[in-house]
Structure 1
Amino acid sequence: MAKTEWYLEYEIQYNRPGLLGDISSLLGMLSINILSINGVAESKRGMLLLCKEEEQVTRLKSILQTMDTINITKIRRPKLRDKLAVRHGRYIQSGEDDRKTFRFVRDDLGILVDFMAELFKKEGHKLIGIRGMPRVGKTESVVAASVSANKRWLFVSSTLLKQTIRNELIQGEYNTDNLYIIDGIVSTRRANENHWQLIREIMQLPAVKVVEHPDMFVQFTEYKLKDFDYIIELRRDENEKITYEPVENSHFGQEDGFSMF
């Protein structure tokens, strides 16, 4: 029987010496292997476990619930957020009202790249939006995550090195293993109908698409925010406000508000 992974998270009620050793010994007696362990929040510890049968986990949970030194907060098959929490020592912050929105600050670039790389590795169509003010690191993070996921990235529209607006792709660029990057502001403010026809073709591909500035993108297209599988927000700090007022208040053809993005 193939072994399966589990995620165990518990809150320490009384951090006495030898507590972790006791839990590790219990796991050993139940023939459950510890893959990794880390603190995931203040007074919380997370573990990735490996075992053969679900009954082992049931017995583990039953025994741990009798311990007054800890309180089990999660025991389940690991989600991506669980694995990253153990790997990086903390949980990714998600939106309070929207569970598909995930928030990061510049100090989190390591975990952000890791998070996106795991998303990029999944096969099939995936539409990801990324919000953030200019020069906060959006595009660079997407490219770094593409490299980590061993994906070839293609700029459909971008301002990373110079303004890029593609109207067509060559034969080899229509590939489900590629990752397509679209700048929502560049596409909506500078593109022609040929460019939009290309975007519609790309959207039909079972591949990963990343749209920077998704809020601007949906204002001028038939696509909606509900079409996005994930929305990522990147700020310089937790108090920074993401706003598109400079762009919204400028007119087509004017460079002031547009150029800052």
Structure 2
Amino acid sequence: MSSSEELTRKFARRFVAMGDSFTEGVGDIDPSSPNDVRGWADRVAAQLISNDSSWGYANLAIRGKKLEQVIDEQLHAAIDLKPTLLTLYAGGNDIIRPTVDLERLMSRYRAAVQKLREETEARILLFTGFDSAKAPVFNMTRGRTAIYNEHVRKVAEDLGCEIVDFWNMKRMQDWAYWDVDRLHLGIAGHTLMAKEVLRVLGETDEIDDPELDAMPAVSLYDRTKDHLTWGRDHFYPWVRRRLTGASSGDGMSPKYPQLTDKVW
């Protein structure tokens, strides 16, 4: 018997998370965690295991991955782990590219969810994309995200999946929930997302509400300076990676490629 088969036998309930940086946990810095990040999925897993010790957890997500990469690299691995709960979010890295064929991508998304439905008995949670109406630069992609969300909602309806509705989590439009790069949730954002996922699951939630630091009033000069600093330190490096074909996830491995109950 392989080690993977032994683990699936060990854990009666198996949570498998698929995706990109959002699910890997980028922005929730934790040097004690694999890849130096924790994230909402780890927090959900820790709570599930606390509620019921029969849970095992695997996180296959890797930062920088586009939707088709997530499908090609994670789908079969997820199926092999025989999940009883599976979360999938991918597509954000496609939406913010200069061009994207959403109809083709979402056709692949539907096919991937269909395969998960056919080959596992998992409860499947899908995510809508974030409403970037108040986000500088990325607010230009809001229309694409709305189209993406309509596809996600239709796939969920047709295939019997549940939705974590990130689009309507309007509290997240407060930048205090985000990392300094404005691309990823910060510790508070990942904590709030974990609580929302647990709410959708109907699971006991003992996670403390995130505490936000009061945001001081900022002058126009300081706000402009902050935008310029953000552009230099975060936006332009992101653009450079896109132009060179590099990814923030190059050379990285999944945090938890096999089922475990050792999550904090």
TM-score (norm 1): 0.29
- Between Structure 1 and Structure 2, the one with more strand by share is 1
- Between Structure 1 and Structure 2, the one with more helix by share is 2
Bigger radius of gyration: 1
Q: Which has the higher contact order (CA 8 A, sep 6+)?
A: 2
TM-score (norm 2): 0.28
